């Protein structure tokens, strides 16, 4: 009997522009032909999914089908066709809540109360359905439309899990660093209270524009969280009502058994009686700080784009430091993505200064430590047996290591990172294609170089004097006038290559390039550069789409 292929999505919907993209999926606007209703279609390429990924997709769809609430992005349909799966969600057009706040002319504590009320309402709904989100953070708080007073919508249930009532168990290390709860960091059993902890972090940011826990060093960040080491420093907290601080304290309680629930938080006077309890004073300083916080998040997102999420990469049992070009490459991508460099730099400096000021004030005043107990989210998911990951470049970066698929297990720096043979082979493939590209450069072979590079290749390199170069013409000049005419031998060694795979069809490699050559006087010389290259596979062929090179201009060797 012939198998009938489902074409329901193709028959009933029309696809339009792309709204977003992930490793295995793309989100596009679509319209249902018979009604004209618009949706956001998450299109998953199922040909690239492992059995474990299929299970995760089914779990996400199953969870989303359960949830019907005005403050949750709703799943309207789930359709499987040959090679693709379509999830049809609400089309939310208002952007991120935090971006909307900084554009407002007036923002008060009462407004923050209204925001957290909606967030808590959505969390209470999912908890009533025995769902734990595990990745509550600003990026997942959207607005239904650009209209004034548009509803806040909770999105992205990719890390959500199903639990049995108030069950506490170890479901794997999951979330985003700055929003992780103490019990997750302690590798203890957890459940619904992890979402309330994240709500406490979000509320703190809503009131002053910066997070309660923050450090460049992720290990120190985790120590702060596990100790509940936050406070309400002057002067910005002096104008916040005691009731707001009380709610934060109840949310950021170390012991999850004593932490306030979503249902209880909704009955807190600061939430349910905001017109009489919450201050109506405009919080301009909060808006200014939030602008800088948002800019920092955008920079972090650019770093995630290049997947250079950590200063430290594990290679066997060794721990080595990534090249300085890692940070510069991330900034380059941020600039290319439209992030204003000055604002990003200002944001980073401002947040550093803000936290430094807080630390100084802590040293001269009483620091609030929440009670210590034996019980203790670009989100992190590691094996239930794994230890905490290495310190990351950005405290809020989302990292995912599946706990059950056996691909990767996070470990202490003293232990080797465990990878399967397929992943090792794919990483070796990236190293090999990088070596081929450098060989083409050394041989002055522009034709071979052009075959390996995307025609729209972007780059930051010393010869460009700090400018972002796009296309091949800039590089062709050096091939035509220098490299192809250089008859002296050149030998290049790639040192400490670190490869990060980005799904099936993208990867990033960071390495030190040591080049030996003979100068015009016949003397042997050496030069060193730190390089980062982003690769993308199209039609089974790897192409270099972006690179960043540090060091002084050395055109004949580039």
Tally helices (H) and strands (E) across the chain: 17, 19
Say if residues 445 and 437 touch (Cβ distance below 8 Å). no
- Find the catalytic residue in 100, 111, 121, 135: 135
Instruction: Region of 370 please: left (phi>0), alpha (psi -120 to 50) or beta.
Output: beta
CA 62 to chain centre: 24
Query: Residue 363's CB: how many other CB atoms inside 10 A?
Result: 8
Max intra-chain CA distance, the chain: 83
* Spatial distance between the Cα atoms of 477 and 462, rounded to a whole number of angstroms: 15
Q: Is 135 a catalytic residue?
A: yes
Rounded Cα–Cα distance for residues 323 and 497 (Å): 10
Q: Which residues contact 193 (CB under 8 A, 6 or more apart)?
A: 181, 183, 256, 257, 259, 261
Cα–Cα distance measured from residue 282 to residue 304, given in angstroms and rounded to the nearest whole number = 34
The answer to the question of whether 354 is labelled as a binding residue is no
Bridge-partner residues for 78, per DSSP?
A: 87
Kind and range of the H or E run holding 76:
strand 75-81
Query: What whole-number distance in Å separates Cα of residue 413 and Cα of residue 311?
Result: 13
Give the residue from 195, 223, 196, 229 showing the smallest Cα distance to 211.
Answer: 229
Catalytic residue numbers, as ranges: 135
Q: Which residues fall in the annotated binding site for ATP?
A: 42
Residue ranges at the known binding site:
42
């Amino acid at each position: 009997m012939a198998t009938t292929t489902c074409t329901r999505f193709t028959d009933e919907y029309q696809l339009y522009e792309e709204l977003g993209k992930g490793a295995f999926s793309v989100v596009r606007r679509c319209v249902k032909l018979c009604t004209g209703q618009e949706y956001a279609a998450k299109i998953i390429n199922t040909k690239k999914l492992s059995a474990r990924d299929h299970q995760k997709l089914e779990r996400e769809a199953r969870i989303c089908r359960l949830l019907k609430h005005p403050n949750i992005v709703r799943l309207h349909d789930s359709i499987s066709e040959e090679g693709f799966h379509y999830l049809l969600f609400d089309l939310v057009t208002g952007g991120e809540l935090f971006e909307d706040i900084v554009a407002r002319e007036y923002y008060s504590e009462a407004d923050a109360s209204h925001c957290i009320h909606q967030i808590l309402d959505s969390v209470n709904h999912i908890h009533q359905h025995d769902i734990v989100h595990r990745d509550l953070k600003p990026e997942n708080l959207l607005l239904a439309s650009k209209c004034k007073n548009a509803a806040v919508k909770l999105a992205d249930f990719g890390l959500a899990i199903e639990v049995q009532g108030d069950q506490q168990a170890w479901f794997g290390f999951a979330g985003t660093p700055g929003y992780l709860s103490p019990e997750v960091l302690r590798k203890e059993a957890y459940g619904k209270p992890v979402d309330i902890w994240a709500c406490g972090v979000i509320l703190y940011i809503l009131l002053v524009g910066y997070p309660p826990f923050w450090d460049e060093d992720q290990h120190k960040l985790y120590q702060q969280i596990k100790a509940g080491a936050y406070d309400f420093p002057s002067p910005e907290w002096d104008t916040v009502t005691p009731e707001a601080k009380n709610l934060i304290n109840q949310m950021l309680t170390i012991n999850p058994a004593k932490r306030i629930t979503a249902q209880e938080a909704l009955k807190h006077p600061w939430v349910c009686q905001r017109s009489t309890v919450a201050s109506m004073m405009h919080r301009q300083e909060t808006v200014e700080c939030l602008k800088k916080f948002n800019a920092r998040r955008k920079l972090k997102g650019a770093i995630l784009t290049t997947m250079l999420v950590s200063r430290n990469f594990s290679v066997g049992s060794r721990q080595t430091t990534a090249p300085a070009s890692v940070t510069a490459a991330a900034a380059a991508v941020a600039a290319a993505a439209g992030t204003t460099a000055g604002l990003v730099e200002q944001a980073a400096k401002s947040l550093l200064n803000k936290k430094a000021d807080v630390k100084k004030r802590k040293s001269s005043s009483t620091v609030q430590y929440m009670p210590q107990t034996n019980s203790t989210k670009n989100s992190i998911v590691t094996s239930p047996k794994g230890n905490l990951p290495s310190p990351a470049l950005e405290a809020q970066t989302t990292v995912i290591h599946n706990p059950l698929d056996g691909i990767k297990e996070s470990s202490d720096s003293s232990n080797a990172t465990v990878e399967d043979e397929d992943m090792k082979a794919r990483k070796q493939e990236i190293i090999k294609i990088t070596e081929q590209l450098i060989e083409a450069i050394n041989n002055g072979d522009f034709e071979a170089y052009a075959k390996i590079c995307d025609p729209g290749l972007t780059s930051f390199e010393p010869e460009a004097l700090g400018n972002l170069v796009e296309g091949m013409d800039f590089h062709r000049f050096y091939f035509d006038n220098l490299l192809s005419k250089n008859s002296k031998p050149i030998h290049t060694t790639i040192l400490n290559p670190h490869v990060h795979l980005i799904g099936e069809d993208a990867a990033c490699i960071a390495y030190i390039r040591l080049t030996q050559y003979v100068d015009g006087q016949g003397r042997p010389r050496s030069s060193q550069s730190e390089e980062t290259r982003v690769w993308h596979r199209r039609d089974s062929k790897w192409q270099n789409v972006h690179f960043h090179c540090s060091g002084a201009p050395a055109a004949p060797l580039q």
